[in-house]
Structure 1
Amino acid sequence: MRFNKLDLNLLVALDALLSERSISRAAERVHLSQSAMSNALARLREYFDDELLVQVGRKMEPTPRAEGLADAVRDVLVRVEATISTQPAFVPAESTREFRLLVSDYTLTTLMPHVLARVYAQAPNIRIDLRPQVAHPERALERADADLLIIPRDYCSTDHPSETLLDEQFCCVLWEGATLAHATLTREAYLEAGHIVVLPGQGQPALEDWFVKRLGVSRRVEVTTFSFAAAAQLVVGTQRIATVHRRLALLAQRHEPIAIHDVPLHMPAMHQAVQWHRHRSADEGLSWLRGILREAVEAMDRAVGGPGQRVEDSVAPPRKARRAKARSKMD
């Protein structure tokens, strides 16, 4: 099919070339031979009267003309895919569809076990592809590399719809043997302590680090990690503090010798949201999956503790209870 003398099949090749910046990888992506992809690039160059991709060292880099085309071409292809690939009716129990979700390890640890259990109960043949968060996650929607993003609302794109799934508070985690573990954690003590800080998404600051910097204070960062879930474990055996999501802290407290305190700074809640492409709002499968996410949040909070529960009021894990009982017998 041609439009204004352009073979529209070439748009698929152009999208793959601009995404992969490699003729061989682009050919593999759209199931063409390397020679066929080279021929497609030659025809595209002739039509646009531009090199589009030029060799720079061992890489191929897009020209300014190609960069200007990239988003428009991707938007056209996403519209087409959303229109022709979405079935008129979605029946979970009969579906073999695959859903791709971009999630942080915070979401992976706290929410996804409850999501997967509900998906399996209703649609055992559906596949879930959980992908790690990346910088500029909205681009994954634009490229159709993800069906849903689960990210803090502060990071959501204004170009696509979203809805808030949950509110999350931050708290401080310390090793039980630390000096500050069983004392009042003051603002001064917090700022003077060594800290473990999470830098997810290719070194980008986490939301809690962003909040702290907005308050105009600085912390002595002694350890950085890419993992939200690991931060609570990394304080064990040290005098350091990790500022983490409350639900993660409560889960970690079941298995790790840690104490939990409120953050002695005014730190706002994180509003975790789910976002999808604006052209896929009518997708019945995504609507069903968003409903599953909402149900999973309720199940998670029944298991972990609801958003209104203060960290000091959390029930001690069985391991700690047994240890306390053993100490009382020795006394």
Structure 2
Amino acid sequence: MSSIDHFNLWSFDLNLLVAFDALMRERSVTRAAGRLKIQQSAMSHNLGTLRVLLDDELFVRVGHAMKPTARAEALSAAISRILEQAQGAITMRETFRPEREERTFSIGFSSELEVLLMPGLTAHVRRLAPGIRLLARPAQPDEVHRMLDDGELDLAVGCFGGGAERHRGKFLFEQSLLCCFNPALLNLAVPLSRDAYLTQRHALVSQNASIRGCLEDAVHAAGIELDVAMAAPEFLTVLSTVMQTPVIATLPARIVNRFAPLMGLLASPVPFDFAVTPISMLWAAQSDRDPASEWLRQLVEPVLAQIEGGMPSYGTVAANEIA
């Protein structure tokens, strides 16, 4: 690509090219002024400026018409192409055809959202756009906005805050919790009482340096203390621990409903009203109108709705759960 002399172009009013093209098409100062919806005196001024800058008469009156000079004729085709290209660039909206697209989308997740959303989303994308690939990445609440800013993520789905003005977001659903345990290792009545919940040891999901992890703020707000035996970043690690150890796990209700029965675990409502961050979808403002990004975002909610509609419910769901 050849270098553009921005300084010289800045000093040349590019609107004069529009005026020149109108004069070439109308061959009349009056009609050219009408075409541009400006006063005739303004068009005469534009013509005078063009004559000085291009050092040529450009248009000579012959009878009632303005006849272009040889220089004007030579410039006409090039200027017309420039204006057509500018108009096309300004008015064009990129057409996205998913069936033809070759692209990799990086999606940041809270751990439980990855396993809930990615299988169904991949199936949809594979059917509609076989050339599109999905890369799931872990995203922590304190890092997700930077990852969107740096282009490391195209989209994020999880328990994330809204971010700054340069971010866009959409609420997806309220998060609720269930707890579960291995009834072969813990002889507890369901639903769990507060005393039973507090006297047992716990396994929690933690994606930071705190042993209380994702529940730390909720537990503190409830004014209680949990005896935490272990914490891990992946919920499957927590559930596997519960299978083999007499501990209680407190996890998102959708995870417990889906996986606890498969692992021989018994589910129960959490006997405390823990406030947890709702699930949202986030993206960077610069991709807000990108057709490919819009297409991907529009797939997320139907996939989640399909998962919810086909998900069996085990145990009693907490009273504040919003499906």
The residue that corresponds to 1:311 in the other structure is: 315
The residue that corresponds to 1:93 in the other structure is: 99
8 Å CA contact 2:105, 2:133 repeated in 1: yes
Instruction: After TM superposition, give the deviation of residue 210 of structure 1 in Å.
Output: 2.2
How has the CA–CA distance of structure 1 residues 202 and 104 changed in structure 2, closer, same or farther, with 3 Å as cutoff? farther
How has the CA–CA distance of structure 1 residues 221 and 203 changed in structure 2, closer, same or farther, with 3 Å as cutoff? closer
Structure 2 counterparts to residues 72-151 of structure 1, below 5 A: 88-134=94-140, 135-151=142-158
Instruction: After TM superposition, give the deviation of residue 238 of structure 1 in Å.
Output: 2.5
Instruction: After TM superposition, give the deviation of residue 2 of structure 1 in Å.
Output: 10
Quote the Cα distance in structure 1 between the aligned partners of 2:193 and 2:116. 29
How has the CA–CA distance of structure 1 residues 251 and 185 changed in structure 2, closer, same or farther, with 3 Å as cutoff? same
Q: 2:95 corresponds to which letter in structure 1?
A: A
Query: Which deviates more, 123-132 or 208-217?
Result: 208-217
SS of the counterpart of 1:276? Answer: strand
How has the CA–CA distance of structure 1 residues 179 and 123 changed in structure 2, closer, same or farther, with 3 Å as cutoff? same
User: Which structure has the larger Rg over C-alpha atoms?
Assistant: 2
The residue that corresponds to 2:193 in the other structure is: 186
Instruction: After TM superposition, give the deviation of residue 180 of structure 1 in Å.
Output: 4.2
1:176 aligns with 2:176: no
Query: For residues 49-95 of structure 1, what are the alpha-carbon distances to aligned partners after superposition, in whole Å with 9 as ceiling and x for unaligned?
Result: xxxxxxxxxxxxxxxxxxxxxxxxxxxxxxxxxx9xx9811111111
Normalising by structure 1, what TM-score? Answer: 0.63
CA RMSD after TM alignment: 2.9
Q: 1:279 corresponds to which letter in structure 2?
A: Q
The residue that corresponds to 1:253 in the other structure is: 260
8 Å CA contact 2:212, 2:228 repeated in 1: no
How has the CA–CA distance of structure 1 residues 183 and 3 changed in structure 2, closer, same or farther, with 3 Å as cutoff? farther
How has the CA–CA distance of structure 1 residues 205 and 274 changed in structure 2, closer, same or farther, with 3 Å as cutoff? farther
Q: Provide structure 1 residue ranges, at least 5 long, that are not aligned to the other structure.
A: 6-82, 315-331
SS of the counterpart of 1:88? Answer: coil
Instruction: After TM superposition, give the deviation of residue 201 of structure 1 in Å.
Output: 4.7
Q: 1:126 corresponds to which letter in structure 2?
A: I
Q: 1:210 corresponds to which letter in structure 2?
A: D
Q: Provide structure 2 residue ranges, at least 5 long, that are not aligned to the other structure.
A: 8-88, 319-323
Structure 2 counterparts to residues 17-28 of structure 1, below 5 A: none
8 Å CA contact 1:211, 1:267 repeated in 2: yes
Quote the Cα distance in structure 2 between the aligned partners of 1:151 and 1:312. 24
Number of residue pairs aligned between Structure 1 and Structure 2: 232
1:292 aligns with 2:296: no
Quote the Cα distance in structure 2 between the aligned partners of 1:187 and 1:208. 16
The residue that corresponds to 1:217 in the other structure is: 224
Instruction: After TM superposition, give the deviation of residue 236 of structure 1 in Å.
Output: 1.4
Quote the Cα distance in structure 1 between the aligned partners of 2:242 and 2:5. 61
The residue that corresponds to 2:27 in the other structure is: none
| Percent identity over paired residues | 20
Instruction: After TM superposition, give the deviation of residue 150 of structure 1 in Å.
Output: 1.1
Normalising by structure 2, what TM-score? Answer: 0.65
Query: For residues 87-131 of structure 1, what are the alpha-carbon distances to aligned partners after superposition, in whole Å with 9 as ceiling and x for unaligned?
Result: 811111111121111112211211111111111111011011111
Quote the Cα distance in structure 1 between the aligned partners of 2:184 and 2:309. 30
8 Å CA contact 1:175, 1:239 repeated in 2: yes
Query: Which deviates more, 93-102 or 127-136?
Result: 127-136
SS of the counterpart of 1:221? Answer: strand
Quote the Cα distance in structure 2 between the aligned partners of 1:256 and 1:275. 33
Instruction: After TM superposition, give the deviation of residue 178 of structure 1 in Å.
Output: 3.4
The residue that corresponds to 1:166 in the other structure is: 173
The residue that corresponds to 1:195 in the other structure is: 202
Query: For residues 120-168 of structure 1, what are the alpha-carbon distances to aligned partners after superposition, in whole Å with 9 as ceiling and x for unaligned?
Result: 1110110111111234211001111111111214x33133110012223
The residue that corresponds to 2:233 in the other structure is: 226
Instruction: After TM superposition, give the deviation of residue 269 of structure 1 in Å.
Output: 5.1
SS of the counterpart of 1:92? Answer: coil
8 Å CA contact 1:166, 1:297 repeated in 2: no
How has the CA–CA distance of structure 1 residues 249 and 183 changed in structure 2, closer, same or farther, with 3 Å as cutoff? closer
8 Å CA contact 1:232, 1:244 repeated in 2: no
